[in-house]
Amino acid sequence: MEKSDQRVPFTVENIKKCICTDCPVQNTSRCVKEKMEKTKEMMGSMESGLMSKPEDIPGLYCATGAATCKDIDTNQMCICGDCPLWEKYNLPSGELLGYYCRDGKAK
Ligand code: SF4
Ligand code: SF4
């Protein structure tokens, strides 16, 4: 069987722990702001098992890949290093060190 390259699982627990919502790369993006509002509204349904699509979540890019919002500012500093998932999934040992919103998911 082929080994999965999914390092970080796409779960509601991980969406809640992700700190991309506080990241300067995202905080001027109108597209991200809209997705954040929608995600807040959907949280109840997600907690009861109805997951939103990855492209509707403005974070957890280490699990889902590059951001669909194109108005993010990747000249700002990535804060993944302060995220609880950074150590939990041993992301410093991966190929990419942060900026998953720009470069795709963690492997
Ligand atoms: S490591 Fe980065 S992309 Fe992954 S959940 Fe944490 S803040 Fe979000
Ligand atoms: S992946 Fe890193 S740079 Fe991108 S939004 Fe999350 S914390 Fe910021």
Express each pLDDT in 27-83 by its tens digit: 999 999 999 999 999 999 999 999 999 999 999 999 999 999 999 999 999 999 999
Which CA distances in Å does 62 have to 16, 18, 32, 98, 103? 14, 9, 16, 8, 9
Question: Domain segments of the chain: what residues?
Answer: 12-103
Q: Distance between CA 51 and CA 84 in Å, rounded?
A: 21
pTM of this structure: 0.95
Residues counted in the chain: 107
Q: Is the pLDDT of residue 5 over 90?
A: no
Instruction: Tell me the pLDDT band of 6, cut-offs 50, 70 and 90.
Output: confident
Mutate to test the pocket of ligand 1, among 17, 20, 69 (most ligand atoms within 8 A of CB): 20
The DSSP output letter for 81 is: G
